[in-house]
């Protein structure tokens, strides 16, 4: 009788253990999908770069000749400078920003599809939202314009034969001392021949 009472207990434990195994498999699968999704999101910008000598970036939105670019929050000023120098190189050599994932800004201009372009680089992707860029371009909200220009981390402008590049906020048409303290002009002048600004520190070698 005692032996008969003990036989159901192994059967009960073996019936309970298969119920846990599928749950463990589902949890592992869900975690795998989560980590893969995370890797794809953050790796997408990295792998989609034209090359590895510039920081990862994505085109948040574009309206007319205004292009809002997003880079990760940890991107340094030096890395942003390399990205601006790449835009400068493209502007001087081929003036074809298509491989840089930028749509034509002057598609109907017989002189070329990228005669004018203004690229704003942000680490806060909220400013690259299409609605935010539209409000900036239309100038309908002065507060948006101030916030947009004050949040810029890098700026490249090409206007037919002139170009400009700078690090930091771009308070156009304003003498803003606070922004000037964090802003540094890299170059300005004729395309392909623009020189470093006099205020910019000269490299040691």
Decide if 57 contacts 87 (C-beta within 8 A). Answer: no
Residue 182 has a pLDDT of 74
% the chain with pLDDT above 90: 58
The model's confidence at residue 113, banded by pLDDT at 50, 70 and 90, is very high
Residue 41 has a pLDDT of 64
Residue 119 β-bridge partners: 67, 156
**What's the length of the chain?**
205
Average pLDDT in the 130-137 region?
A: 96
Please indicate, yes or no, whether the overall pTM of this predicted structure exceeds 0.85. no
pLDDT digits (tens, 9 = 90+) for 142-158: 999 999 999 999 999 99
**Crossing angle for the helix pair 130-138 and 142-150, nearest 10 degrees?**
110
With 80 as the cut, is the pLDDT of residue 24 above it?
Answer: no
Q: How far is 170 from 166, CA to CA, in rounded Å?
A: 8
Buried b (16+ CB within 10 A) or exposed e, 19-35: eeeeeeeeeeeeeeeee
Decide if 144 contacts 133 (C-beta within 8 A). Answer: no
Residue 171 has a pLDDT of 74
Residue 168 has a pLDDT of 95
Q: How far is 25 from 62, CA to CA, in rounded Å?
A: 44
**In this structure, what is the dihedral angle of CA atoms 112, 113, 115, 121, given to the nearest 10 degrees?**
-150
DSSP states of 26-89:
HHHHHHHHHHHHHHHHHHHHHHTSS-TTS---EEEEEETTEEEEE--TT--HHHHHHHHHHHHH
With 80 as the cut, is the pLDDT of residue 51 above it?
Answer: no
């Amino acid at each position: 009788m005692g032996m008969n009472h003990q036989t159901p207990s192994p059967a009960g434990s073996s019936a309970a253990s298969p119920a846990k195994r599928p749950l463990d498999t589902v949890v592992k699968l869900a975690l795998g999908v989560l980590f893969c999704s995370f890797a794809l999101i953050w790796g997408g910008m990295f792998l989609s770069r034209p090359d590895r000598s510039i920081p990862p970036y994505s085109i948040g939105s574009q309206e007319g000749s205004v292009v809002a670019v997003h880079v990760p929050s940890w991107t340094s000023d030096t890395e942003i400078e390399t990205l601006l120098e790449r835009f400068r190189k493209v502007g001087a050599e081929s003036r074809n920003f298509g491989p840089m994932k930028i749509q034509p800004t002057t598609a109907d201009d017989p002189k070329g599809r990228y005669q004018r372009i203004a690229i704003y680089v942000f680490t806060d992707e909220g400013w690259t939202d299409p609605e935010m860029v539209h409000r900036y371009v239309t100038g309908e909200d002065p507060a948006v314009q101030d916030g947009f220009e004050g949040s810029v981390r890098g700026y490249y402008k090409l206007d037919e034969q002139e170009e400009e590049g700078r690090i930091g906020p771009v308070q156009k048409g304003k003498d803003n001392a606070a922004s000037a303290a964090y802003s540094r002009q890299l170059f300005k002048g004729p395309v392909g021949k623009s020189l470093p600004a006099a205020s910019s520190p000269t490299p040691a070698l």
